[in-house]
Amino acid sequence: MPRRTEIASILEQAPRDQQVTVMGWVRAFRSNRFIALYDGSTMKQLQVVVDYEKLDESLLKRIHFHACVAVTGKVIASIGSGQAVEVLAESIEILGEADPESYVLQPKAQTMEYLRQQAHFRMRTNVMNAVFRVRHAVAFAVHKYFNDRGYFYMHTPIITGSDAEGAGEMFRVTTLPPGFTPPKGEDGHDDWSADFFQRPTNLTVSGQLQAEIGALALGKVYTFGPTFRAENSNTSRHLAEFWMIEPEIAFFDIHDDMDLAEDFVQYLIRYTLEHCSDELEFLDQRLAELEKNMKKEERRPMGLLETLRFVIDNKFERVTYTEAVELLRSSKAYKKGKFTYPVEWGKDLQAEHERWLVEQHFQKPVIVRNYPKEIKAFYMRLNEDNKTVAAMDVLFPGIGEVIGGSQREERYDVLLQRVRDFKIAEEELWWYLDLRRFGGAPHAGFGLGFERMVQFITGMNNIRDVIPFPRTPGNAHF
C-alpha cells in the first residue's frame, strides 16, 4: 500500500507539481472527468481531474457514488472555481466498489429518518460528517476545559445498585432467567443471592452520587460517560442511552455552581466556533435552506451561528423559580392562552415556558434557581424557606434546558429525612449518608447531557442525529 497524503494537508499547504497518492470516497463523478473525493481529514473535498483517454474505460465505469478509490497524480493549480488546487490523475485503483443498483444511499437529498435506518452509512453524508466532526471537537473541549482547571477525570460505574434520581426508570442488569422470582429470605426481603451481584442492579442513570465521593476527597472531579434511562419517550429530545458530563466540586455553593455552568458551556461553544468553522458554516447554511419553506412562526429566531454567538456574547440572566413563574403568568402569551401547559407554582417549567423566558422576555440565556422541593431530587440542599431547594437549570434559546444542577445537601439529618420522604431504602444509600457523617463538606455540581449540547451547537432538530447509533424505544440496531 503506497503512503497516502491526506486531503486536508493538500488543501492547507496548496503544494504545486508534487506527486501524491490520495485515498478516499467518491462524492461525485461528473462528466466522466471530475471526481469529488473526500477522506475524512477535512469537511472539504478534493477535485481529481481524470483524462479518460489515458485511463481504462472499464475502470472508470466502476467509479460510483461512495466507491473507495486510490488516486496517484500531480497537484496542480486549478483553473476552475471553488478550489485552489486539484490533482491530475495518472492512475486510479478502486479499493472498494459501491454498486449504485444495490447501495442504499444515493447522491441526492435523503431524509434524516431514512438515514437513521442506514446508520452504518450515514456518516458518509455531508450533514452527518459535519455533525460527528463537531461531536468529536466538543468531547475534546470537555476534557481540555476541566484538565486545564485542575479537575480529575473520574470513571463512575455503569452497573450500579443505586438510583441517583429516585425515578425507578432504569434498565435491569441480571444473569437470572426471564420470569425468575426471587424467594424470600429469613428477614422477609427478596433473596437475590442467585444473581451475579447477589442484589438488584441496573444500568446507571447518573454518575453523580459516586462523583461526590471523589469531590469529597480530591476536591474537583468530573465524569463523562454513558448513562441510561428506561423512559418510553419517543421524542426529538430523548434517548435511552446518552452521555453525561457531571462535574462535582467541594466547597462550592449554588452561586459557584451557576458560575461554573455558564463559563463551561460558553467555553465549549467558543472552542467549537474556533476549531470547526467549516462544519458550522455548512450546518448554518443547511438550516437556513430548511427554514426557507417554513412559516415565519415556525422558524428559529436566529440562524445557527448567530445563536451560538448570542450565547457566548451575553451574560446569563439569573432568576428564581418564583420570579420565573410570576413573569410567565403576567405575560401576554399566558393571558392569551398560548401556552399548552399550565403555569403555576409547584409545577415544573416546560420547554415552551423556558423558551419564552430566554427568547421573548430576557432575550439571553437564563439560569433559573430555587425550585420547589417536591419536583427535584432528594439530594438537593433544602433552602431556609423549607419549600425550595438550591437547584438550578440553564436555559438556551431554541432548546430550553441544557444543564441541571444543585448544591448538594451536606447536613446529615436533613438528607436522612429527604431520603425517607422519597421512600428510598436507607440501607441502599448507607455509604452516601456516611459522606455526611464523616468529614462532610458543602459541595455542588451539575449534569450536562452531551448529546443535548451537541444538538444545540449543530442545530440538528432531532437528538437521534447527533449520536452515531441512537437507542430509543423499539430501536437497538447496530
**Mean pLDDT, residues 407-433 taken together:** 93
The answer on pLDDT for 14 being more than 80 is no
**Mean pLDDT, residues 133-155 taken together:** 98
Fold classification of 124-170+205-465 (topology level): BirA Bifunctional Protein; domain 2 (3.30.930)
Residues above pLDDT 90, as percent of the chain: 79
SS3 305: helix
Q: Residue 185: what pLDDT?
A: 86
The answer on pLDDT for 477 being more than 60 is yes
Instruction: Say which DSSP state 4 is in.
Output: P
**Mean pLDDT, residues 198-211 taken together:** 93
Q: Whose grid coordinates read 493538500?
A: 10
The CATH number that domain 7-108 falls under is 2.40.50.140
Q: Which residues of the chain does CATH 3.30.930.10 include?
A: 124-170+205-465
Return the minimum-mean-pLDDT range out of 229-243, 310-324, 397-411.
229-243
> How do strand 85-96 and strand 152-153 relate by DSSP bridges?
unpaired
**Mean pLDDT, residues 414-434 taken together:** 92
The answer on pLDDT for 167 being more than 70 is no
The grid cell for 155 is 470513571
Return the minimum-mean-pLDDT range out of 274-283, 296-305, 396-405, 425-434.
296-305
Q: Residue 120: what pLDDT?
A: 94
In degrees, to the nearest 5, what angle opens at C-alpha 265 toward C-alphas 324 and 448? 75
Return the minimum-mean-pLDDT range out of 169-178, 261-270, 290-299.
290-299
Contact 141, 268 (CB under 8 A): yes
Residues in the chain: 478
Task: Kindly compute the dihedral angle of the four CA atoms of residues 184, 187, 188, 194, in this order, to the nearest 10 degrees.
Answer: -20
DSSP per residue over 73-140, as a string? Answer: EEEEE--STT-SEEEEEEEEEEEE---TTT-S--SS---HHHHHHTTTTGGGSHHHHHHHHHHHHHHH
| Alpha carbon distance 383, 371 (integer Å) | 10
| Alpha carbon distance 128, 468 (integer Å) | 9
The answer on pLDDT for 4 being more than 60 is yes
pLDDT digits (tens, 9 = 90+) for 78-115: 887 788 899 999 999 999 999 999 999 999 888 999 99
* Segment (H or E) for 209: helix 208-218
Instruction: Say which DSSP state 359 is in.
Output: I
Q: Residue 163: what pLDDT?
A: 64
**Mean pLDDT, residues 231-248 taken together:** 90
The answer on pLDDT for 142 being more than 60 is yes
**Mean pLDDT, residues 317-329 taken together:** 98
**Mean pLDDT, residues 435-447 taken together:** 97
Contact 162, 378 (CB under 8 A): no
Q: How confident is the model at residue 400 (pLDDT cuts 50, 70, 90)?
A: confident
Contact 122, 111 (CB under 8 A): no
Instruction: Say which DSSP state 158 is in.
Output: S
Type of residue numbered 401: E
Q: Residue 321: what pLDDT?
A: 98
Residue 7 φ then ψ, to 5°: -60, -35
Q: Residue 168: what pLDDT?
A: 56
The answer on pLDDT for 170 being more than 70 is yes
Q: Which residues of the chain does CATH 2.40.50.140 include?
A: 7-108
Q: How confident is the model at residue 236 (pLDDT cuts 50, 70, 90)?
A: confident
**Mean pLDDT, residues 141-147 taken together:** 98
Q: How confident is the model at residue 467 (pLDDT cuts 50, 70, 90)?
A: very high
| Alpha carbon distance 85, 119 (integer Å) | 33
**Mean pLDDT, residues 13-24 taken together:** 88
pLDDT digits (tens, 9 = 90+) for 42-59: 999 999 999 888 888 999
Q: Residue 338: what pLDDT?
A: 93
Q: Residue 232: what pLDDT?
A: 84
Radius of gyration of the chain (CA): 27
Task: Classify the phi-psi angles of 198: left when phi > 0, otherwise alpha if psi is within -120 to 50, otherwise beta.
Answer: left
**Mean pLDDT, residues 7-27 taken together:** 91
Return the minimum-mean-pLDDT range out of 147-151, 158-162, 224-228.
158-162
The grid cell for 394 is 440553564
pTM summary value: 0.93
Q: How confident is the model at residue 165 (pLDDT cuts 50, 70, 90)?
A: low
Q: Residue 26: what pLDDT?
A: 97
Average pLDDT, the chain: 93
Q: Residue 166: what pLDDT?
A: 55
Q: Residue 164: what pLDDT?
A: 61
| Alpha carbon distance 401, 365 (integer Å) | 10
**Mean pLDDT, residues 111-131 taken together:** 94
Q: Residue 298: what pLDDT?
A: 77
SS3 333: helix
